[in-house]
Structures are given as C-alpha cells and as structure tokens.
Amino acid sequence: MLDRTDRSLVGVWWWTVDKWLLASAVMLIVIGTLLVMAAGPAVANLIQLSSQHFIIRQLIYLIPTLGLMVAVSMLEPRTIRAFALFGLALIIGLMVMAIVMGSEVKGATRWVSIAGFSLQPSELAKPLFAIVSAWLLTLWREGQDFPGWAYATALLGIIVAILVAQPDIGMTLMMLLTWGFQMFLAGMPMLFVIGGVLVAPALFYLAYLYLPHVTLRVDKFFEGGSWQVERAMESFATGGYFGVGPGDGRVKLHLPDAHSDFIFAVAAEEYGALACLALLGLYGFIILRGFVRSLGGDGLFCLIASASLVMQFGLQACIHMASSVNLIPTKGMTLPFISYGGSSLLASGLTIGLILALTRKHVGQNYVARRPADAGGAA
C-alpha cells in the first residue's frame, strides 16, 4: 500500500489524483463492457460475423484505453501542452489522410486502417484541440500582446474545414461548441459570444440545404423518427422500470447499430428505466465533479482546458441519449466508455486522463516541493 511519504511517480499520482472521478470512469468501463457483451453477439450474427467478434475487439481496445488514461493522468500541465500540440498535428494529418485514402462508411470518409483496426482520427482531435486552444487563449489573457484567440480561431477553421469535407457535422458541432465555451471562459467580449450564437443556426441551415444525409436525418426527425429510432423507442416501453432481464432483450436482434449508436436502448430494454436513470446520474456526477475540480485548478490554463474537456464528455453523452429517445435528430455519436468502438474508447480514456491530470492537487513539482518545506517548518 502506498503511503503519503512515497515520492515515486506512482506514489505522488495516487495521493493527488481525484479517486472519485477515476472510480466513476472505471464503473462506466465495466458497465460498457457488460452492455457490449449483451448487444455484440446479436449484431455480429445480424451482419454474419463471429458471435464474439465485437466482444473480443472491445476487450482488446480496453487495454490501451486504460493504459492511456492512467499514463496521461500522471502528466504535468507543461508536458500535457507539448503532448497535445504534437498529437494534434499528427491527428490532423491522419484526418486529411482519411479523406484522401480512407475507407468510406455510410457516405463518410472518417476512418483510416492501422494494423487491421479502423481508427477515426477526429475522435482524438476533440480533446487535443481543447488543450491546444486553451493554451493559446491562456497566452492571450496572460500576455495581452499575443493574439492567442486569433490562432485558436484559425486552428478551429482548419479542423472544421476537414470535418466538413469528410463530412462529420456532429463532430463539427462539438468543435464549435468547445471553441465557444473556451472563448467565454477566457473572457471574450459578449458581443462575440452573441454573434457566434446567432451565426450557428445559419450554418446548420446551410448544412441542411446542401448535405443530403443531414437533410434526410432532420426530415426523418420531424416525421417521427427513423426506423431505428422507432425500434429504440419501443425498447423503452418494453423494458419498463426494471427491464426484461440481462440477455432477454429483442431490440438488439433488429438494430444493426445496437452495440454502438443505440446501446442506450439496449440498456433500457434489458435493465429498465431506473437503470438508465442511474447511468444518467453517473454521468451527471462526473460532469459536476469535473466542473468543481476545474475551479480549483492550477491557473487559467487548467481551468479552461479541464472545464472544456468535461463539457465535451457530458455533451457527447447527452447527444447520444437524447437521439435514442428522439429528442433530437439521430447523430452517430457514441456513448462515452459504453458504446462499442476503439476510437471512441481511446478518446474517452484520453479525455478522462487529461481531466484527472489537470485537476490533480498540487500537480507535479509543486506538490513534491511543499512536503519537505512543511516538514522543516514543523521541526
């Protein structure tokens, strides 16, 4: 057992990391594994794959996800900034590569194949952009001569242009909201914030006019929902308060995306509405805990970066659950740590790892330096 006098990397990490956030993330991973085990075989049989195909791959994805989450949570802010800068440059290159030579799935070219596994680079771009943008905005606020907000906006423009070319409107929305949220936290004049709010509807109206898949999904939503949404809604009615029991659900036998985009519907049918509310509460706890810890962060950079990462994590969960119950048009957005998918798992692990790192108590050298001083004062 590690004690408080341990000055090793692991020892300092253990006594400074937020164990409630860490435990909550692990709980989500366990729940997600159980739900993929429930939905995976039925979907695999539906598309004529081995019944254990999705379960095995999900367990394989979990190994690097847990390693990435823990390793990143040990980093200091300076290392995090360097990691995010080089990582985002690499990911942008992969996003361009996905357009040029990636595989097309459902009309979009968002994936690149690496060692037999498909990777969606834009998933990893979300948290990395949040870090780099927060860094630029911090430099702007702390050094008034540096136009960090302009560089952050230009970086956003590059990423959005690539996302629209793929196309990926949902991820574009996530990037725009991240940028706007960070601008607000950094103290951008309200005129710019209000302007962004007014421009956003116009941009999505243009997407509705000129992007066929957006038009189809919006029209289906106002017509009452697509076939998959109708089946998902039926699963909530069938499950009731307590569900039909693990493994006894029927919706997964008909939905080709039951293990990913509609896994919340599988949870509703097999475990019931009360279990879904408990899952919603777990996400709510992570969001509230994350925001509270962000307020006690080490400086403006940690505040902007960690708060925007928490916002991303919570917004993605809300979009997934809202589309499952037909509150918003369907958007192929996974439920963090729950849905099947290697890119989604890695992005969720990276996001939580960064939040844990940025909200640690007395991060890095500050914590180590204070202990000997305290001991000397006590003597």
Q: How confident is the model at residue 151 (pLDDT cuts 50, 70, 90)?
A: very high
Q: According to the model, what pLDDT value does residue 2 have?
A: 66
Task: Tell me what the mean pLDDT of segment 56-66 comes to.
Answer: 93
- Would 267 be classed as within a structural domain? yes
Average pLDDT over all residues of the chain: 85
- Would 73 be classed as within a structural domain? yes
Q: According to the model, what pLDDT value does residue 69 have?
A: 96
- Would 371 be classed as within a structural domain? no
The letter for the amino acid at 354 is L
Cα separations in angstroms, 136 against 125, 130, 194, 233: 16, 10, 22, 43
Are 293 and 307 within 8 A, CB to CB? Answer: no
Task: Tell me what the mean pLDDT of segment 297-303 comes to.
Answer: 88
Q: Distance between CA atoms of 284 and 305, rounded to whole angstroms? A: 19
- Would 124 be classed as within a structural domain? no
Beta-bridge partner residues of 103: 111
% residues pLDDT > 90 (the chain): 46
% residues pLDDT > 70 (the chain): 91
Q: How confident is the model at residue 287 (pLDDT cuts 50, 70, 90)?
A: very high
- Would 139 be classed as within a structural domain? no
Report whether pLDDT(91) > 80: yes
Overall number of domains in the chain: 1
Q: According to the model, what pLDDT value does residue 224 have?
A: 67
Task: Tell me what the mean pLDDT of segment 79-88 comes to.
Answer: 95
Give which of 248, 251, 253 is closest to 264, Cα–Cα.
Answer: 251
CA dihedral 216, 218, 220, 222 (to 10 degrees): -150
Q: Distance between CA atoms of 218 and 116, rounded to whole angstroms? A: 34
Report whether pLDDT(376) > 70: no
Task: Tell me what the mean pLDDT of segment 31-51 comes to.
Answer: 89
Cα separations in angstroms, 18 against 67, 68, 84, 162, 346: 17, 17, 22, 36, 20
- Would 205 be classed as within a structural domain? yes
Cα separations in angstroms, 164 against 168, 202, 207: 6, 15, 9
Q: According to the model, what pLDDT value does residue 321 have?
A: 92
Q: According to the model, what pLDDT value does residue 215 have?
A: 82
Residue 8, burial from CB neighbour count under 10 angstroms (0-12, 13-18, 19+) = exposed
Q: Distance between CA atoms of 222 and 148, rounded to whole angstroms? A: 41
Domain region containing 190: 9-79+166-361
Q: According to the model, what pLDDT value does residue 108 have?
A: 66
Are 332 and 108 within 8 A, CB to CB? Answer: no
Q: According to the model, what pLDDT value does residue 25 have?
A: 96
Are 345 and 61 within 8 A, CB to CB? Answer: yes
Q: According to the model, what pLDDT value does residue 27 have?
A: 96
Q: According to the model, what pLDDT value does residue 338 have?
A: 94
- Would 212 be classed as within a structural domain? yes
- Would 334 be classed as within a structural domain? yes
Task: Tell me what the mean pLDDT of segment 214-240 comes to.
Answer: 80
Report whether pLDDT(363) > 80: no
Greater confidence, 2 or 182? 182
Return the H-helix or E-strand segment holding 234.
Answer: helix 227-239
**CB count, 10 Å around CB of 357?**
27
Report whether pLDDT(146) > 90: no
The letter for the amino acid at 296 is G
Long-range contacts for 24-29 (Cβ within 8 Å, ≥24 apart)? 24/282, 24/285, 24/286, 24/289, 25/69, 25/286, 25/337, 25/352, 27/282, 28/282, 28/283, 28/286, 28/336, 28/337, 28/338, 29/62, 29/65, 29/66, 29/337
